Chains A and B, each alone.
Chain A
Amino acid sequence: MSGLARVADALLVATLVVDATALVLGLVRRRAAARLVLLVGVGVHAVAVVARGVAAGHLPWANMYEYSSALALVAVAVGLWATRGTALDDVRTATVAVAVATLGVGLLLAVPAGPLVPALATPWLAVHTSAAIVASGILTVGVAATGLYLWRGTDVLDALASRVVTLGFLVWTFAVLSGAVWAEQAWGRYWGWDPKETAAFVTWLLYAAYLHARATPRWRGRRAAWVGVAAYVALAVTYYVVNLVVVGLHSYA
C-alpha cells in the first residue's frame, strides 16, 4: 500500500477521534467548543478523503469503506450548515453520533486503496454515487431532527426535519433516477429489481409517505415523524444489509 493511502487511513482514524470528542462536548453542552472541534474534524476528514482519492487514483467512493467515510463527512457538514445561527445544537450532536457510528463501521470494513472495477470506471460514479452519498448525509441530519422532535416535541425541530428531508428526498430521487440511467448503460436495463434497486425504491416510497403524512390532518406531527424514522431505517438497510447480506449487482465492496 502506498504511503499516501496509509496517511489517509491514519487521518480517518484521527477524524473518528476528533468527531467523537465533539460528540462528547455536545453531550455535556459545551456548545461553542463542540462546534469548533467539529469544524476541525471536518477539515481533517476532508484532507483524509482527498488523500484517499489521490492514493486510489479515482473518486474515493468505490467500496463501503470509502463510501462510509464520505457519507459521514457529508452528514457532519450538512449538520453544521443546517444548525448554523440556531439554538439547535442538539440536532448537530445527534448527527455527529450517527456520523461517528458510520465512520466506525466504515473503518471495520477497511480495504486497501485499489483500482476501479470496469463497471465503476465511468463518470456515472461521480454522478450517481455522489448523489447517493449527499442524499444519505442530508437525510441523516433529517433523522437527527426527527428523532429529537419525537423526544422533545418542539415545532422548530419538526420544521427543520421537514426542510432537510424535503431536500434529501429531492437528491435521493436524483440518485435513483441517475442510477437507472447508469444501469441502462452498464447493464443493459434501466431497472431490474436488483436488491439494491428494490431497497432504494422502498426508501423512496417511505420518504414519499413521510412527506404525504406531514400534509395529512390526522398524521402530521408525531405519527409522521415515526414514518420518517422508518424511512431512515430503510435507508440504512439499503446501505448496510443489502451490501453485506444480499448478493446483487451492487456487491462491489
Chain B
Amino acid sequence: MRTALWLLAALALAATFATFVPQEPVVPATVAAWRAGTAGPGPTATWLLDAAGMFDVVGSWWWTGLLGLLLVSLTGCLTMRVRVLVLAARRPPDLLRHTGLREHAVVHAAAPQAALDDAARWLVRRRFRVVRTGDVVAAERGRWREVGSIAFHLSLYLLLAGAVVGQTRGFTAQLDLAEGRSFSETPLSYDVLDTGRWFDVADHRGFLVTLLDFALDTHPDGTAADYVATVAIEPGGDGRSGGARREEQVRINHPVRQDGVVLHLVRYGVAPRLVVRDGDGREVFRDAVRLRGAGGGAWAGAAKVRLGEPGERSQLALDVAVLPSLGQDAPDVVDPRAGRSAALPVDPLVVVDLYAGDLGLEAPRPLSQARPGWGPDQVVGRARLRAGGPAVALGPGHTVELTGVASWAGLQVRRAPGLGLLAAGGLLMLAGLAVSSHAYRRRVVVRSEDGAVVVAGRSWQRPDRAAVERDALVATLVARHGASVAPAATGAGRSPS
C-alpha cells in the first residue's frame, strides 16, 4: 500500500507537469513556439524540459514505466485480496472465534435466552450474517465493502484494455472539405491519418462523403448558436454496407456514424473559389482555397498551382488571405469545440499572392508546413478581388478571378474500437466505488453471561456509526425485556470471552 501511495504521488507530479507544460500531441504550435524561443520560459528551461521529455509526458518512457510499476503493485495486491475473498466466500470465517471485540453494554435481562433470540432476529432483519449457539449470537455485516473495493480496482484493467485497443486498432483522420466537394473515404486517401499499430484496412469499408453546405448560425448578439455541416454520405462500393445515399447534419455534440466510423465537426472556415489562367487564357487552377482563422477576423491559406517537372524549379503557388472587416473581433485560433468562433465574412476582400520558383511543393506535406521557406522575392504578382468582379492581372502572364466565396468544414473521421470496454470499466468503477463507500464491515456478538446479556462489537471502518447501531440493538433488548442496562466498562479491547 505504501508503494502504491508513492507511485500515485509520482504519477500526480508527472501529470502536473503535463498540465502546465504544453504537450506536443495536444498543442504542437505552442511547443514549436517554445522551442523557437518566441514564447515560453527561455532556451535553457526549454532545453531542460525537452531533454526530460516534458513536452510529451504521457508518451515518455518514464510515464509508461510509472504506469507499469503501478500495475505490478496493483496486481500483486489484488491477487492476494481476491484470494482471501474467494476463500472467505467458500468457507465463511467462524464468527464464534472472535478477536478484537469491545464490550458495548451489559443488559440485565429477566430471560437471557429470549433476549438472545430477539437479538438474533434483530440482526437478521438488519441483514447481518448470524450464527447462534447455546449462549452466543455472533453476527457480521459489511463484506460487500471489500467486494466493491476489488471491483473498483479491477475496473482499472478494463479501462486500460479499452484504451490500448483504441490506440492500437483504431484510426483518426482529418478531412477538410469545401462546400460542393466530395471525398472518397478510404484510409489510403487522407492527408493526415493516424492509425494504430494493428489497424486493419480490412475492417474499413469506406464511403463517399460530400459537403453540401456549411452554415454558422448566430444569436442576435453575434455569438455562435450552431455550426451545421450538411453532408451526403454514400456507402462504399464493396457491396457489403448497403443502404442508399443519405443526408446528415454534422454539428458540435452531434456526430454522424457510418459503417463503424464517426464523423465529428472540428473546424470550419471560408473558402474563396479562385480561377487562375495563364497568358494564353488556359485555365491552370480552379478550386476553392480553404482558409483558416488567423486572428482578429482575418483568414489565411495557400494552394499549390503547379508542381513543375523535377528539377525545373518553376513551381507556382497561391497565398490567399481574407482581410477582416472593420470592428470584427475573433480569437487567434478558431475552434468551435471550445466555443472560439469567428463570423464567416460576407462579400470579403480577398488578397491573392502568386509565388513562383522552388517552393518545395513536391514534398507530400500540407502547405501550412511547406510555406515558411517562401520569401518575398518569390512573389511575382498580387491581386485584390471581390466576388463577381472581373478577372484581374496576377503579375505578368497570369490572371485570377474570384467566382464566389464558399465555406469549408473540417471533419474528424475516427474509428474507435474499445469503447465498450471503456464503458464497462467506467460502470464497474462507479458501482465498486458506490458499494465500497457505503458498506462498512463490523461484527456484533451478544452472549449471556451470569444471567446478564453482554453486547460487544468490533468495526473495521466507521466506528462511530457501528456504535450507534449497537446502541439501537441494546435499546431494543431493554424495551422488550424490561431490563436495566449498564454501559460497558471502558476498558479498551476487553474481550467477553
Contact = CB atoms under 8 A, between A and B. Distances in A.
Interface size class of A (residues with CB under 8 A): 35 or more
A209 B219 contact: no
B79 interface: no
Interface stretch (A7-15, A24-32, A41-49, A166-174): A166-174
A189 B26 contact: no
B339 A188 contact: no
Contact of B5 (A185, A195, A216): A216
Contacts, number: 140
Given A167-B437, A180-B426, A118 B26 contact: no
A115 B5 contact: no
B156 to A, nearest CB: 10
A41 to B, nearest CB: 29
Interface in B14-45: 15-16, 18-20, 23, 25-27
Interface residues of B, number: 55
B48 interface: no
A194 B335 CA distance: 14
B8 interface: yes
B426 A119 contact: no
Interface string A152-196: 000010010001001101100110010011001111111111110
A99 B227 CA distance: 37
Contact of A252 (B23, B264, B339): B339
B240 interface: no
A179 to B, nearest CB: 11
Interface stretch (A64-72, A88-96, A200-208): A200-208
Given A184-B419, A198-B15, A198-B19, A212 B252 contact: no
Contact of B224 (A117, A213, A252): A117
A163 B341 CA distance: 44
B410 to A, nearest CB: 11
Interface stretch (A74-82, A101-109, A139-147, A242-250): A242-250
A118 B5 CA distance: 41
Interface of B: 1-2, 4-5, 8-9, 11-12, 15-16, 18-20, 23, 25-27, 58, 163, 172, 219, 221, 223-227, 251-253, 255, 262, 264, 266, 335-341, 412, 414, 416, 419, 422, 426, 429-430, 433-434, 437, 462-464
Interface of A: 114-115, 117-122, 124, 156, 159, 163, 166-167, 169-170, 173-174, 177, 180-181, 184-195, 198-199, 201-202, 205-206, 208-209, 212-213, 215-216, 218-219, 234, 237, 242, 246-252
Given A180-B426, A252-B339, 19 more contacts: A117-B223, A118-B224, A118-B226, A118-B336, A120-B339, A177-B426, A185-B253, A186-B252, A187-B266, A188-B262, A189-B414, A193-B26, A198-B15, A202-B15, A205-B8, A206-B8, A208-B8, A246-B20, A252-B338
